Amino acid sequence: MKIAQQNIQEFNQKHIIKHKNRFDFISSELSDRSIDVDAIVQTLSDFQVAVPSWALGAGGTRFGRFSFGGEPSTLEEKIDDVGLIHALTHTAGAISLHIPWDIPSDAAAIRERAADRGLVFDAVNSNTFQDQSDQEYSYKYGSLCHVDAKVRRQAIDHNIQVVEYGEALGSKSLTVWLADGTSFPGQHNFRKAHQHTQSSLKEIYNAMPDDWKLYIEYKPYEPNFYSMVIPDWGTSLAFAQECGPRAHTLVDLGHHLPNTNIEQIVAILMTKGRLGGFHFNDSKYGDDDLTVGSIKPYQLFLIFNELVYGMENNVADNPPLAWMIDASHNLKDPLEDLMQSLDAILVAYAQALLIDRVALEQAQEASNVAACQDILQQAYRTDVRAIVAESRLRAGAAIDPVAAYRSMRLRDQLIDTRGLHVTATGL
Ligand SMILES: [Mn+2]
């Protein structure tokens, strides 16, 4: 299923006058502050975030799962759904696959289907946190860290195979997240588990093509509750540095203990040239996988403040970042949730682009703490929604994607085509 461009134009036409009034108002206000609004609109139009194949259906918890009508049950349908989001937002120009949930049987056809919807394939993700029915050894007690070399071998080979699938699709990076860890003191020899993980990662890294990047994700707890083999950004960074220059740390916003200063982590990793990518979501307690910006929008803005600074002052030659949403939708229509997330990302990015960096630096140098706070909040409290809408309008997308999605009754159409009781693969 695809959206005709004409339908988007018709939707925009109905809302254009109201939008133009709002955009003209904020444009003149920002022009008075000597801000180049057109440059910001262009930056937002160009910004692309990958949608993961596992976020298109209803997620679940360990207590239950409530499916959502019209969920995609094949890789082709998942690509179609990302295509719908991309047509409405022009921000979701990439898809990220999890293997073995989404093994492409005909890579050329899948690639073509994606290209037809303006999509490319972003990082591929391996999975050694579940056992598959056809695998010889279990990951119950770990994968890349396992005490048994045969289990490590199987997990390394799986990652190398994921890279091969990715190559066929045009991906250029592998993301590794490990559930490896322990739930009880004494279960692991920490040093041995660390060394096994390091040598396994290095072997995967060395097997990748020369133009590939390795992203190493961290998480402090869950599914293991006493220790994780890669619990934090420092451990991830140490592994990345040991692997080589194309290995980087991946920050997932939900993979931190409460109140962790994530923006500071972003700043330090970029200073070291080792921030590889981002998994956007939001949380109240831990890895809640809630809609981006739904709980802590100010934190998201402060993170974008550091990202913008890092991209504008790239002294350590940090590579271009891989942006991806990593969320799970238990209550909302997954497509609406993803569009809300994309919107929240663009709002935070736009606000960060408004920060008066010259004034901020002067205030920092003068230790004028009150002024520092005022400068940040002046940007954060600016209503940039019309700027974000204008960036979509100029790119041929919908002024208000969720409203357009509803007015076109796209979920009803998906249910008509796919049925009410279908289940997407993934978490
Ligand atoms: Mn993640």
Q: What is the pLDDT of residue 267?
A: 98
Spatial separation of the C-alpha atoms in residues 247 and 299, rounded to whole Å: 26
> Hey, what amino acid is at 426?
G
3-state SS, residue 159: helix
pLDDT at 58 over 90: no
Ligand 1 centre from 96 Cα, in Å?
A: 11
Is the CB of residue 15 less than 8 Å from the CB of residue 40?
no
Calculate how far, in angstroms, residue 427's C-alpha sits from the geometric centre of ligand 1: 12
- What's the 135 CA to ligand 1 centre distance in angstroms? 24
Contact criterion met (CB below 8 Å) for 175 and 250 = yes
Q: How much distance in Å is there from the Cα of 279 to the middle of ligand 1?
A: 5
Q: What is the pLDDT of residues 318-335, one digit of tens each?
A: 999 999 999 988 899 999
Q: Could you tell me the distance, in angstroms and rounded to a whole number, from the CA of residue 292 to the centre of ligand 1?
A: 13
Cβ < 5 A residues, ion ligand 1: 252, 279, 326
DSSP line for 270-325: HHTT-EEEEEE-B-SSSS--BPTTSS-HHHHHHHHHHHHHHHHS-TT-PPPPEEEE
Q: What is the pLDDT of residues 271-310, one digit of tens each?
A: 999 999 999 999 999 999 999 999 999 999 999 999 999 9
How many angstroms does the Cα of residue 275 sit away from the middle of ligand 1? Answer: 14
CA of 278 to the centre of ligand 1 (A): 8
427 has a pLDDT exceeding 80? no
| Under 8 Å between Cβ of 172 and 109 | no
Mean pLDDT of 5-18: 98
In this predicted structure, the answer to whether residue 317 has a pLDDT above a threshold of 70 is yes
Take residue 276 and report the two structure tokens written for it. Answer: 């590889």
Quote the CA–CA distance of 347 and 220 in Å, as a whole number. 29
CA angle 255, 103, 96 (to 5 degrees): 40
At 425, the pLDDT band (50, 70, 90 cuts) reads low
Distance 217 CA to ligand 1 centre (A): 7
Distance 198 CA to ligand 1 centre (A): 20
Q: How far apart are CA 95 and CA 110, in angstroms?
A: 11
If you measure from the C-alpha of residue 326 to the centroid of ligand 1, how many angstroms do you get, rounded to a whole number?
Answer: 5
In this model, does residue 356 exceed pLDDT 90?
yes
d(CA 311, CA 359): 18
What is the pLDDT, as a whole number, of residue 68? 84
Span from the CA of 419 to the centroid of ligand 1 (angstroms): 30
User: What's the CA-to-centroid distance between 95 and ligand 1, angstroms?
Assistant: 14
Mean pLDDT for the stretch of residues 248-252: 98
Residue pLDDT, tens place only, 210-244: 999 999 999 999 999 999 999 999 999 999 999 99
Q: How far is the CA of 168 from the centre of ligand 1 (A)?
A: 23
Measured from the Cβ of residue 4, the count of other Cβ atoms closer than 10 Å reads 10
Tell me, in angstroms, the distance from the centre of ligand 1 to residue 327's CA. 8
- 420: which DSSP letter? S
Interval between CA 178 and ligand 1 midpoint (Å): 10
> How far, in Å, from the CA of 107 to the mean position of ligand 1?
24
136-146: average pLDDT: 98
- Give me ligand 1 centre to Cα 148, in Å: 27
* 203: its two tokens: 């072997």
Distance from the CA of 208 to the center of ligand 1, in angstroms?
21
For residue 129, the CA-to-ligand 1 centroid distance in Å is 13
Residue 255 Cα to ligand 1 midpoint, Å, equals 8
CA–centroid distance, 235 to ligand 1, in Å, is: 16
**In this model, does residue 252 exceed pLDDT 70?**
yes
Q: How many CB atoms lie within 10 A of CB 251?
A: 24
- Dist. CA 89 → ligand 1 center (Å): 22
Ligand 1 centroid to 182 CA: how many Å? 20
**Measured in angstroms, how far is the CA atom of residue 33 from the centroid of ligand 1?**
38
252 Cα–ligand 1 center, Å: 5
User: Ligand 1: distance of its center to the CA of 225 in Å?
Assistant: 18
How many whole angstroms from 172 Cα to the centroid of ligand 1?
18
- Tell me how far the alpha carbon of residue 350 lies from the centroid of ligand 1, in angstroms: 24
d(CA 257, CA 241): 24
279 neighbors 252 (Cβ within 8 angstroms): yes
